[in-house]
Amino acid sequence: MSEKPAYSPGLEGVIAGESALSRIDTERNHLLICGYDLEDLTEGAVYEEVAYLLLHGELPTRAQLEEFEAALRAERTLPPQVVDLLRQAPADAHPMDLLRTAVSALGYFDMETRDNSPQANVRKALRLLAKIPLIIAAGHRFSQGLQPVAPHPSLGQAGNLLYMLRGSEPAPHEVRALDVSLILYAEHGFNASTFTARVVVSTLSDLYSAVTAAIGALAGPLHGGANEAAMHMLMEIGSADQAEAWVLDALAKKKKIMGFGHREYKKGDSRVPAMKKMGRQVAAAVGDNRWIELAEIVEQTMIAQKGIYPNLDFPCAYTYYLMNIPIPLYTPIFVSSRVAGWAAHVIEQLGRNRLIRPAHLYRGIDQRPFVAVDKRS
């Protein structure tokens, strides 16, 4: 009898491809982006530099960064038909549904949609980087009965998104916190949404199709939607004095604690410290430590009881909440960052493409005889 092939549920540990975009340094438990330590990038770069790095393989010079930023500002427009699509959506539609549909619609209006050359895909990626924040902000404002706010002519990705959501310039500590979160979310290997994008484009489909599918994958609460779920959990707990008892009760009932655990990190998500630092800075600026204190007790209880550490979604959740960002926008903001990583993976996949088509183990009924419909009892 031939030996059955090994099976790994969820493809855990299965090598599904090669990439030069990121890796986890297991000895130091640090994430590297194109060879750069992510911690160094959060300390010394802005998101636009990291997006450029992912798309071009090198950090930009000052002149290259200024050219890249100018190109992003020039693409901060939406086709009127996409604006109408957002305007006509139900007010209670989830922003991820709006974003998925609007990104798909953008493919109608891009002359290069079917051009899969690396150069065309870099240009399309830049357009998506510029337009996705507009979709997020316009969709949100329409849902609130408000008109969209035109992009700010001089603000970067983080500051402009906050400006378009509110209609007023954000405080420097808010821009810095959001910018760091965008850097931290930009790329993370063969995660579910990135792998989805690579599978789609491995058929020689286009970037818009790949990103649309990736948005669908990210929307789930076990992936990008975990940041929203984590904040709802913190709100359910309510206060620091309730936190330990709440977690212990949830663990006893085998409930999933949102924002904790990560398949790639066994010693804790290396992106968490930078985001926790931003959370503390925002809390100090607004004079509200309630969520910091509550989150700290949840974290320490989970580590003590289960040895499970928070992932990036956990500190992002309460940091965004302290910045008065509506909870349904947390995952769309994740998209506005990760689209750089998705696009880089699409370009990389197409560079050495092979159709992704894994095998499976059959668990169904053995072969049986066909019976005509009139003879079935």
| Residue 4: per-residue pLDDT | 62
Q: How far apart are CA 337 and CA 335, in angstroms?
A: 5
| Residue 10: per-residue pLDDT | 77
CA angle 29, 32, 34 (to 5 degrees): 165
Smallest Cα–Cα separation from 148: which of 81, 87, 71, 79?
87
With a CB cutoff of 8 Å and minimum separation 6, the contacts of 356 are 16, 17, 198, 199, 202
**Is 6 a member of any domain?**
no
With cut-offs at 50, 70 and 90, classify the pLDDT of residue 293. very high
With cut-offs at 50, 70 and 90, classify the pLDDT of residue 12. confident
Q: How far apart are CA 204 and CA 241, in angstroms?
A: 54
Same domain, 208 and 109: yes
**What is the three-class DSSP state of 8?**
coil
Give the CATH number, domain containing residue 245.
Answer: 1.10.230.10
- Prediction pTM value: 0.93
Same domain, 236 and 302: yes
Domain boundary among 322, 342, 363: 322
With a CB cutoff of 8 Å and minimum separation 6, the contacts of 352 are 18
**Is 296 a member of any domain?**
yes
Same domain, 47 and 194: yes
Residue 42, number of CB atoms within 10 A of its CB: 23
**Is 91 a member of any domain?**
yes
Tell me the sheet residues that pair with 310.
260
Strands (DSSP E) found in the chain: 22-25, 30-33, 36-37
* Mean pLDDT (whole number) for 167-193: 96
| Residue 11: per-residue pLDDT | 81
Same domain, 246 and 145: no
Q: How far apart are CA 297 and CA 240, in angstroms?
A: 7
Same domain, 312 and 259: yes
**Is 13 a member of any domain?**
no
Hey, what are 111's tokens? 């002359």
Give the CATH number, domain containing residue 113.
Answer: 1.10.580.10
Hey, what are 269's tokens? 């998500």
The answer on pLDDT for 174 being more than 80 is yes
| Residue 311: per-residue pLDDT | 92
**pLDDT tens, position by position, 321-345:** 999 999 999 999 999 999 999 999 9
Percentage of residues in the chain with pLDDT exceeding 70? 98
What are φ and ψ of residue 145, in 5° steps?
75, 20
Same domain, 234 and 267: yes
Tell the burial category of 187 from Cβ atoms under 10 Å away from its Cβ (0-12, 13-18, 19+): buried
* Mean pLDDT (whole number) for 63-92: 97
| Residue 3: per-residue pLDDT | 62
262, 269, 366, 374: which is the annotated catalytic residue?
Answer: 262
**pLDDT tens, position by position, 230-278:** 999 999 999 999 999 999 999 999 998 999 987 777 778 889 999 999 9
Average pLDDT along the chain:
94
Same domain, 134 and 201: yes
| Residue 1: per-residue pLDDT | 44
* Mean pLDDT (whole number) for 94-121: 97
* Mean pLDDT (whole number) for 89-100: 95
| Residue 175: per-residue pLDDT | 98
The answer on pLDDT for 318 being more than 80 is yes
The answer on pLDDT for 225 being more than 90 is no
Four-residue CA torsion sign, 219, 224, 225, 228: negative
| Residue 268: per-residue pLDDT | 81
110, 179, 269, 313: which is the annotated catalytic residue?
Answer: 313
Same domain, 335 and 314: no
Same domain, 145 and 116: yes
**pLDDT tens, position by position, 347-375:** 999 999 999 998 888 889 999 999 999 99
374 is catalytic: no
Q: How far apart are CA 334 and CA 368, in angstroms?
A: 49
179 is catalytic: no
Same domain, 217 and 237: no
Q: How far apart are CA 251 and CA 256, in angstroms?
A: 8
- Identify the domain containing residue 334 by its residue range: 18-176+187-221+329-351
| Residue 267: per-residue pLDDT | 77
**Is 375 a member of any domain?**
no
**pLDDT tens, position by position, 110-147:** 999 999 999 999 999 999 999 999 999 999 999 999 99
With cut-offs at 50, 70 and 90, classify the pLDDT of residue 15. confident
Residue 10, number of CB atoms within 10 A of its CB: 8
